[in-house]
Amino acid sequence: MLSVTNQILTSNKKELGWSMANSQKFWDRIAADYAKKPVDNVEDFQQKINHIQGYLYADDNVLDFACGTGTISLELANSVKSIDAIDTSVNMLAIAKQRSKDMGIKNVNYMQTDIFDAQLRPAQFDVVLAFNIFHLVPTIDKTLSRVNQLLKPGGLLISETPCIGGQHVIFRFLMGGMAKLGIVPTFKNYKADALSNLITTANFEIIENKTGKDLFLVAKKCF
């Protein structure tokens, strides 16, 4: 059974054109500058962390999908049993690991990989965190299906996604131009309602949905 699952995951990666190398190249290049960028609003960020903690339990096993420099994982580590934090960028992970060491956090396991890695097992996690990643994946439906597979029945997806599709056309044009120049990564122009519908279609029940600058969403895997 495991070999069949591995074959399916390998096929999905090829079909999607999921390119760890291309993703890694961009994020490795900007990692140092990204890490130096301060949180836009410390008070709002802390409120968000406190809010997320309200959904977590001390015995939860969590996956942080596209963990970056570990900002979210490190804030939530003391609220859960363990966190597997994955990212394609070696440089991002190096910064996250050093931050974890400096903070004395020992229950976060960092892996350089993507979400289709067969080491991540079906029904392994109570919670999947997906911050600032859904607009960057090549094919959202297969990614959401994989997230659903990794969650235990009733497990939670907690995500936050920039929904550029709801912005003014000039802003979208400028962002598209910057993506072509490699200033920002290639992204999808999702609208909040459309992304919410995609998540519902992927066998999730949305239990919280807040639309502002970004779409913050909590969804439960349906049984």
| Residues 129-144: tens digit of each pLDDT | 999 999 888 889 999 9
Cα–Cα dist 33/37, whole Å: 7
For the segment 150-162, the average pLDDT, to the nearest whole number, is: 96
160 pLDDT above the threshold of 60: yes
Give the confidence band of 4 by pLDDT, cuts at 50, 70, 90. very low
DSSP structure string for 70-93: SHHHHHHGGGSSEEEEEES-HHHH
| Cα dihedral sign, 171-173-179-181 | negative
* pLDDT-derived band at 185, boundaries 50, 70, 90: low
Q: Is the per-residue pLDDT at 189 higher than 80?
A: no
CA separation for the pair 157, 151 (Å, rounded): 8
Name the burial class of residue 186, with classes exposed (0-12), middle (13-18) and buried (19+) by CB atoms within 10 angstroms of its CB: middle
* Mean pLDDT on 87-97: 94
Of 39-43, 77-81, 152-156, the poorest mean pLDDT is in 39-43
Confidence of residue 172 (pLDDT cuts 50, 70, 90): very low
CA distances from 133 to 2, 65, 162 (A): 27, 8, 9
- Bridge partners (DSSP) of residue 157 are 128, 219
pTM of the prediction?
Answer: 0.83
- Give the pLDDT of residue 165: 59
| More confident: 2 or 67 | 67
Q: Can you tell me the mean pLDDT for 13-22?
A: 50
Residue 19: pLDDT over 90: no
Give the pLDDT band of residue 123 (cuts 50, 70, 90).
very high
In the chain, where are the structural domains located?
2-221
Position 170 confidence tier, pLDDT thresholds 50, 70, 90 = very low
Q: Which CATH number fits domain 2-221: 3.40.50.150, 1.10.1740.10, 3.40.50.2300, 3.90.1570.10?
A: 3.40.50.150
**pLDDT at residue 100 greater than cutoff 60:** yes
Count the neighbouring beta carbons within 10 Å of the beta carbon of residue 82.
16
